[in-house]
Amino acid sequence: MQARELAKVLVIGGGQAGLATAYTLRENGFRPVILESGPEAAGSWPRYYDSLRVFTPARINGLPGLPFPGHPDHFPVRDEVADYLRTYAARLDCEILTGRRVVSVTATEHGYLAETQDGERHEAAFVVAASGSFDKPYRPALPGLEGYTGTILHAADYRSPEPFEGQRVVIVGAANSAVQIGVELARHARVTLATREPVRFFTTKPTPGDSFVWTLFARLGRLPTSLAFPQHNVSNGVNGVIECGGYRTAIDAGRPDRRELFTRAEGTRLHWPDAPAEHVDTVILATGYRWAMDYLRPLGALDPEGVPRQRGGMSTSHPGLAVVGLTGQYSLLSGSLIGAGADAYHVARRLRRQAAAWLASTPKQSLSVTR
């Protein structure tokens, strides 16, 4: 079987997972076509908050075929990652179609048909869903917020602290984003982290970029976990904080402070279980995201919670369908820059085996979908 005979693959999403997947598909002889909903192939990174800094050093954050630039032991900021992904996309030997928001994927006789919001139709033998979760912020219906008339934002809407100068702000959440935003905001506003449990720190102090701990972290984090933990048992996100910016010291000093979750609201006043009610200008929900893959629903490829039915990145209900970038889909770091490459290689190899079987059983005249 010659590599040039292998089929076209639609990769839905042009972020870190989609770009890494396109690279590994090319290495395995496929012809990937990326369908990206945004104006460029840089994923969600250009839309993250301004001060975001990756909590792992550059040397373990490179995607396949291109090391992360700069000193290997530095911790990249948001714009560095966005620029890195733009460079990565420009060097890919594949077609990247931007402004194509896929709204449905359906099965055809010889593969799949993806339809975009603008009515375009793209057909191919195989599909990889790599659209991540940033476009689907999770906003839980908190009973304590019923009746609140102040401003409610999601962390996805936060960019910088200046608009909140002098305000009373409450952040709901206890993971990395909640803590990072809270510590930054506390220099400009009076801020409380409202959580059901105390903030947990995975590390107690910043770890230098040249530490062997990061190498060990990357190796252990890429070990397969999907056989032991089916996707629906893996949470969308990590419930804990990596100490990389003095966050623990700031919280211990009450900047921001931490309280039990509020119990009810009256207008702009929040009622606390262990403190007097008070006026709050803004509530920020740092409550995570859900997978933005509703376009797979027509196939019946999602479970009732909207999570792809998969094992190790391969659909358990539809041959020729794969996903990359889900938290815990193959390793503990599947949803990160560190894990994207390993997961992409795994999926590409599995798809190659499926492609060989598909080509062996498909008449030549039906291969037009790959051209």
Q: What are 199-223's pLDDT values in tens digits?
A: 888 777 778 888 888 888 888 777 7
Cis peptide bond N-terminal to 256, omega within 30? yes
Residues 309 and 357 in one domain: yes
Q: What is the largest CA-CA distance in the chain?
A: 74
* H-run or E-run covering 258: strand 257-260
Domain end (from 285, 314, 346): 285
Residue 136 near residue 151, CB atoms below 8 Å:
no
Question: Which structural domain range is residue 362 located in?
Answer: 3-136+290-370
Structure tokens at 6: 């292998």
CATH code at position 148? 3.50.50.60
How many CA atoms are closer than 13 Å to the CA of 138, on its beta-carbon side? 16
Closest CA to 313 of 289, 345, 355: 345
pLDDT at 29: 92
Residues 296 and 275 in one domain: no
At 96-108, the pLDDT tens digits run: 999 999 999 999 9
Q: How far apart are CA 243 and CA 55, in angstroms?
A: 8
Residues 86 and 17 in one domain: yes
Q: How many domains does the chain have?
A: 2
Structure tokens at 99: 């402004």
Q: How far apart are CA 336 and CA 61, in angstroms?
A: 9
* H-run or E-run covering 354: helix 337-361
Indicate the pLDDT class of residue 363, thresholds 50, 70 and 90.
low
Q: How far apart are CA 139 and CA 217, in angstroms?
A: 31
Beta strand 310-311 with 314-315 is antiparallel
Indicate the pLDDT class of residue 298, thresholds 50, 70 and 90.
very high
Inside any domain, residue 9 = yes
pLDDT exceeds 80 at position 370: no
Closest CA to 234 of 285, 286, 291, 299: 291
Q: Is 74 helix (H, G, I), strand (E, B) or coil?
A: coil
Beta strand 264-266 with 269-271 is antiparallel
Residue 30 near residue 348, CB atoms below 8 Å:
yes
pLDDT exceeds 70 at position 232: no
pLDDT at 236: 44
Indicate the pLDDT class of residue 359, thresholds 50, 70 and 90.
low
Q: What is the DSSP string of 99-145?
A: S--EEEEEEETTEEEEEETTS-EEEESEEEE---STTSB-----GGG
Residues 296 and 340 in one domain: yes
Residues 74 and 193 in one domain: no
